[in-house]
Structures are given as C-alpha cells and as structure tokens.
Amino acid sequence: MHHQNISDRLQALSPARLQRMMRGIEKESLRVRPDGQLALTPHPAALGSALTHPHITTDFSEAQLEFVTGAHTSIDACLRELADIHRYTYAVMGAQAADPSASERLWVSSMPCRLPAENEIPLGQYGSSNVGRSKTVYRSGLSYRYGRNMQTISGIHYNWSLPGLGNDDYFGLIRNFRRHSFLLLLLFGASPAVCSSFVAGRDHQLESLAGRSMYLPYATSLRMGRLGYQSDAQASLKASFNSLDSYGASLQDALTRPYPAYEAIGVRDPDGGYRQLATTLLQIENELYGTIRPKRVTRSGERPLHALRERGVEYVEVRLMDLNPFEPIGIDALTARVLDVFLLSCLLRDSPPDTPDEVAALARNQHKVAARGREPGLRLECDGREVPLADWAAEIIAPFDEIAATLDALEGGEASQRAVATIRERLAHPETLPSSRVLAAMRDDFDGSHLAFINARSEAARAVMTAEPLSDEARRRFEAMAAASLEEQRRIEAADRVPFEAYRQQLLAPGNLTV
C-alpha cells in the first residue's frame, strides 16, 4: 500500500470532521467474592434496573456487570465517565458488605475467576416483562449452545465513528480491521493464562504453570483463541463484509434458517419453560461473534438488522480487546489513542473485497496470534503466502506516526505520537507486552497462580477506585438514574398486553429484518 495514498486521504479529512470523531466503551467484568469465587448474589438493586439503566447493565450472567459510556469526542472524557461508573459501583458493593474487606469486587481479567458448577452460573435476570424475559431466554439459549463457562469470559468493546462516512467506507474499514487485527491481539492481549477450573474436562492444548494454572508460553489472548468465543456452528456462517447488502444477506440467512443441532435442543422444555428464543443458527443479531461489527442505534422494539438496512452503519464496534489487569478500569488512554490511530489507518488504506479463502486465512491468523503471538519468527498468511509477523506489523504501523501527528495537531500536545512510539518500543521488547507482564507477575510473585494474581490485582483496583470517591453531585446523579431505571422497568412490566409466546413470535418475524 502506498503511503502517499494514505497521506493524501488523511489530508483530505477536514479538521472539523476529525474533531468530531467519537468513541464510547462497553466494559464487562464479573462480580466476585474476596476469595476469587464468582458472586452468586443478584444484581445489586442500588445499581438500578439491568433492563433499562443507560450505563450499568449485565451481560450473560447476573454476576457479569456491563458498563456503557456515552459517545465522546474526547478520550479523557470517555475514560472519566467509565471511571465514575466504576466508583459508583464499588461504593454500592461496599455498602452491601458489613465489612469493606468482605465486599464484592470486579474481576480485572478477561478470563474468569473460579467458577461454580456450570449450571450454578446464574443467567442475567431482567424482570417479568416480555422484553425482560426474552433477554433471559436468549441467555438460556447461549448456555445450551456454547456452555455457561465460555459466556463468563469478559472484554472491552470500543465503539468508534467518524462523521461523513458512508456504508462502503465503514465496510472498507471493517475488512482492513479484520486483516490487521492480529496486531491488536499482540499489543493488547492480556489473557495468556487461565484458572485450571475453566478447562477441566475439556480438550485443550494448554500447558500447566507450576501446577496452579494453565497457559501457553507465547500466548497473547486465550479469550480470542480456540478456548474463547468460538463456535463451530458460527464458523459455518461465511459472513461477507464486502457491502451492507452482502453482510445483511448472510446475517438474515443465519437468523431465519433452522440449524439442525439447535432444532434438536428445541425452543421449549417438557415443562413448558423456554430453552432458547429460536432454533436458527443465530437467535438474534447480537449472537454473531466477530472481532468487529457494523452497528446502528436501534429505535424501541426495532431489530438491529432492520436499523442497519434502513439507516446505514452509524459506528463500528471493536470486540477483541482484553481487560488490562494492570489498569483499574481495564483500559488506559494510550490504548484508546492507538485504537483511534489504528481505525483511521484501516479507513485510509485501500481495502480490496474479501474472499472466502482470505476470510479462512484470517481466522487461522487470529488463532495463531492468540496462542503464539510472541513466538520469535512467527509467520502469518498474507495474500496466499507466509510472511513474518514482525514484517507485516511494521508495514501496518508505518503510517501511524503521520496519523498521530495529525490528531495531536488538533488536540494540542503529543499524546497520540507518544502512544505510537510506546507501542513500537513494546514490539521491539516483547517482554513489555501485557501478556508477557501477566505471565511474569504470576511466576515471580504468585507461584504461578492465575487466581491469586488476578485476585490481588482486583483488590488493588478496588482500593484505587474507592480511595477517590465520587463527588456528591455525581453520586446523586447515579442514585437518580438508578431510581429512574427501576421506575421505567415497572412501567414496561405494567404495559405488557400480549402473552410471551405471541411476543416471541412477533419479535422473530422475518419481516422485522427487512426494510
């Protein structure tokens, strides 16, 4: 790729557009007890309704909190909002405990804490309304399809947009992101090890670390590898990212075509309860795994695919970021700055159409870098040949300095250029990468125990976040939001008029997917 092209396209982006680049963060974390066991308590009522709260909800499990920031033109403002949500949550969890040292805390690793028996991992609960019940039934479907252990893996989603982009621009960015995302796994992967309980009774290629944990010596992100969010069923879904039309068609097919293994599970159990929402390859759009997704904010009751088809792509959701256990809120400003530069580089490069062969090669590259990314001399597949990862990474990073300088000129200072310089240093010294640091800390200070290391990091994060409590004004704002969300949930429950089965059939009607 000629850097001249990237330079010219960068110069063509007006400062006014670049200043309106937006990012928001969604961050998942398990609630755990002080001993590192999964908390089995319900979602704290003082946090509000997981169904309707704009910033604090749950993901798969009742014990898996999900924090959602608004969209921000400033990275610092975005991270401040994320930190405030953490502070409020820690305060609520602390107030629930008779003794602060016994309070629940947030698990700071993407790979889970010590888990109970699989059927004891509680599904998220959202009240008695049809929409609330459908959320729990969806999670039940996930547990039948993929198992509950896998669903407790947590991550950070980075939502990003630039004004003035069309669907083709966003899909070009997505294709390049998928080609180059191995670099992000190498730079920011932070899950090279896992508690042995997670893989008990499963096929895996992991090695034992001091008899305490399972790991791979050169792994970057077990979360994004074969043990993580993977599905043979979904591997059969060859989603194309060449256009909104082709993407919509492959998604519609997965949402409407029955899948034999899921037909065997059935929608209802013999007692009339619900096992899953549907027997199709995907129950709903959100079930599609992937490193990046095109997104559009939906209207009330609207299906995501309909929103995309009717109004186009509004932003992309980057889904491969691990929680950084060395950061109290899981992500730092350097990481966000590098993501912004990386996403702009994906947008500015030429982006040829993807092919089924390339898509298959990219999946192999992802697994290879997740499991062996720091291995000296590692080679990846690129354009039908094998290339050294180090050479390809250098080529991807080449235009970062100019992009970073352009962003710094708008913002003042040199923060983006310093971030790019830092990642170059880390690539030159792999022992400074987060995945290396995690393994070194486990070995040196915790006798090889993932559980003990992450538990200590989780306690340290709680101490940092509670040492600087929220302002009274911010605390009152969160309390008001929690109360309003509970009121909104009651209103939704009171307004239901149709039985759940009628609601389910209407929700899944194929006509809701098309424009």
Q: Which has the higher per-residue pLDDT, 494 or 203? A: 494
Predicted confidence at residue 413, as pLDDT, reads: 96
Residue 200 pLDDT exceeds 60: yes
β-pair partners for 471 = none
Which tens digits make up the pLDDT trace of 119-132? 999 999 999 999 99
Please give the residue range of the domain that contains residue 363. 3-513
* Residue 1: band (very low, low, confident or very high) from pLDDT cuts 50, 70, 90: very low
How large is the average pLDDT for residues 251-279? 95
Parallel/antiparallel/unpaired status of strands 315-321 and 213-215: unpaired
The residue written with tokens 């991807």 in the block is: 396
How many domains, in total, are found in the chain? 1
What average pLDDT does the segment 17-38 reach?
97
Q: Which of 68-77, 99-108, 465-474 has the lowest mean pLDDT?
A: 99-108
Tell me how far apart the alpha carbons of residues 424 and 422 are, in angstroms, rounded to a whole number: 5
Contact 26, 67 (CB under 8 A): yes
CA 467 to chain centroid, in Å, comes to 28
Question: Taking a C-beta distance cutoff of 8 angstroms, is the pair 373, 186 a contact?
Answer: yes
Q: Rounded to whole angstroms, how far apart are CA atoms 75 and 80?
A: 9
In Å, how far from its chain's centre is CA 335? Answer: 14
For 466-484, the pLDDT digits (tens) are: 999 899 999 999 999 999 9
Write down the residue that tokens 């804490």 correspond to.
113
pLDDT in tens, 319-337: 999 999 999 999 999 999 9
pLDDT tens digit string along 128-185?
999 999 999 999 999 999 999 999 999 999 999 999 999 999 999 999 999 999 999 9
pLDDT > 70 fraction of the chain, expressed in percent and rounded: 99
Query: Are 461 and 105 a contacting pair, CB within 8 Å?
Result: yes
Domain at 96, CATH number = 3.30.590.20
- Kindly give, in sequence order, each residue whose CB lies less than 8 Å from that of residue 313, ignoring residues fewer than 6 positions away: 165, 167, 170, 171, 244, 294, 295, 296
pTM: 0.97
Average pLDDT in the 412-439 region? 98
What is the β-pairing status of strands 292-295 and 213-215?
A: unpaired
Residues near 439 by Cβ (< 8 Å), separated by ≥ 6?
192, 193, 209, 215, 217
pLDDT, the chain, mean: 95
The C-alpha atoms of residue 201 and residue 460 are separated, in whole angstroms, by 32
